[in-house]
Structure formats: C-alpha cells, structure tokens
A and B are shown apart, each in its own frame.
Chain A
Amino acid sequence: MTQASTLTFSGVHHTARPTWKLQETVRFYRDQLGLQLVHAISARGWGPADHADFLHFFFDSGKGSTIAFFYYIGTQAPGYLEPRDDYRYRATHTAWQVDSREELMAWREKIEKAGIEIKYQIRHEVIESIYFTDPNGYSLELTWQARPFGKLDIDDARRTIEAAIELEAGSGDFSKIDAVWLRKGERLLAEIGEK
C-alpha cells in the first residue's frame, strides 16, 4: 500500500475550460497545432438540474497530458467568461514544454505558418517562451527550460515567498516588490549570522 508520506503526482492528466466555438477550437488545436483528439465524451446534462447537455473532449499535449474543453449545447457564454485584454486575465494560461531552444524556434515557425499570431517571445530567468492565444481568447505559452531547478532554487524560492508572506500578514507598506527584496535581505543577513 502506498504510504501517504510518499504520495506524489505523476504530471498533468488534463486541465479543462469551456468553449462556445466548437469547430474553431478543433481546427486550432488538432489541425493547426497538430494535437491529436484522443477522447470525446458526449452526454446529457446531469448533476445540477440546469446543467446543459455537453461535449467534453481532450487533445493530447504530450507525456500523458491533455488539454480539454467543454462545449455546452444550446448555451451562450456568460459575461464573466468573456475574454479580456488584461494581464490579470492572461495570468491564467497553459504553458507547454518543449525540450530545446531549437524546438521552440521550430514551433514558432510552425505556428506562424499556420497563421497564428505570436504575441511575444520572452527570455525569463530560467525559461524562454513564446506566447499566443487560442480562438476562445485563452492564453497559451510554449517554453523551454535552460536548466533543471536545484536545491538552491528551492531554498531561494522559500526565502522569497516567506518574506512576502511576512509582509502580507504585517501592517507595513507592501505596495512594491522592493519591500520583499529588503525583507529578504534582512532575513538572509540574520540567517547567515546564525550559521
């Protein structure tokens, strides 16, 4: 029997979102990006009394992961799900991984040839990504990671977030990231002093 202390996830099975553009969604993910349609559920609405009949379908996105959609028959998108041109809306996104920068650039060429606009290409600290949008307005990212995360990254991430949590819980000024950097500096100094 698997012990609770050794339980881990094995990766992403699926993430899901609604669509009101069935044909466009299939064309984009299957025909333009080339993700195989691997599973489709078609069912009468069940559960909540007002649940519409629906299709739930899945595209293979590698290593056992899929990206899935719900199509609710005979319904219209509620206003709160309308896409917005806002960084906070785009914060919810899917980032797929490729193995190298060469692959990323090959994907960029493929995506552009398919007539899909690349919004940005950005080199971050450890990853480099291209960004684009699906017909529903959902943000997508393709990324390659230059190096694996190690113990230094893990410990540093904890220090950054702990400093920020301390500020979030406190009553001082937490309107800029500078506060986190200063708090982290103070905490590091104290931590080194203890060593």
Chain B
Amino acid sequence: MATLFVLNVEEFTPIVEAAAKNPEIEVSGPNVLGYYRLDSEKIQLNRKELGFKHALWNGILTGGFIGQMRVFDTDRLEIENI
C-alpha cells in the first residue's frame, strides 16, 4: 500500500475530501496524533481539483508518505505502492 498522512488542519482538508470521493482510496482518521491516513495501491491527486495554489501544492506531502513517487509536477501527484 501507498500511504499518505495529512495533518488535520483546514488548509489540507481538500485532500481528505477529494480522497473520500475516490473509492480506490481508504481514508481513516484523524488518528490520535492528528493525521488523516490515505491508503491505496495508487494515490492520485490533482492540484486544480483541490483548488490549491502552488505554494500549498508544493508542500502537499509535508505530513509524510510511504511509497514510490511516480509523478509530482505542477498539477499532478501520483504515489504508488513500493
């Protein structure tokens, strides 16, 4: 599984909301440490769909992740199971 941790603060909420609409991503949390956890064989996110400006997009993984980053360009992020 590829895993993405997302801190439970308002600026990152769109990530969790987008993931919750994707049946291929299992969303859990926030856990006791204050992070949502996204698990999937492949986690794909799109900057424009999230409504993220570039500064926030470029720090989108700041919660930490586990997996193989396949794509991370100006608009697309793709993390796969290792």
Contact = CB atoms under 8 A, between A and B. Distances in A.
Interface of A: 122-126, 146-147, 150-153, 155-156, 159-160, 163, 178, 181-189, 191-192, 195
A126 B32 CA distance: 22
B22 interface: no
Contacts of B11: 125-126, 146
A17 B43 CA distance: 48
Contact of A185 (B5, B31, B34, B53): B5
Interface residues of B, number: 24
A157 B11 CA distance: 15
Interface of B: 3-5, 7-11, 31-35, 53, 55-56, 59, 61-66, 69
26 contacts: A123-B53, A123-B55, A124-B55, A125-B11, A125-B55, A147-B10, A150-B9, A152-B7, A152-B34, A155-B34, A156-B34, A159-B64, A181-B65, A182-B65, A183-B64, A184-B63, A185-B4, A185-B5, A185-B65, A188-B5, A188-B33, A188-B63, A189-B3, A189-B66, A192-B31, A195-B33
A147 B62 CA distance: 18
Given A125-B59, A185-B65, A185-B66, A153 B33 contact: no
A179 B64 CA distance: 10
Nearest to A151: B34
B77 to A, nearest CB: 11
3 cross-chain pairs, A with B, having the tightest CB-CB distances, nearest first: A184-B64, A185-B64, A152-B34
A122 B59 CA distance: 14
Nearest to A160: B62
Contacts of B3: 185, 189
Contacts of B9: 147, 150, 152-153
A182 B56 contact: no
Contact of B33 (A146, A147, A178, A192): A192
Nearest to A159: B64
Contacts of A192: 31-33
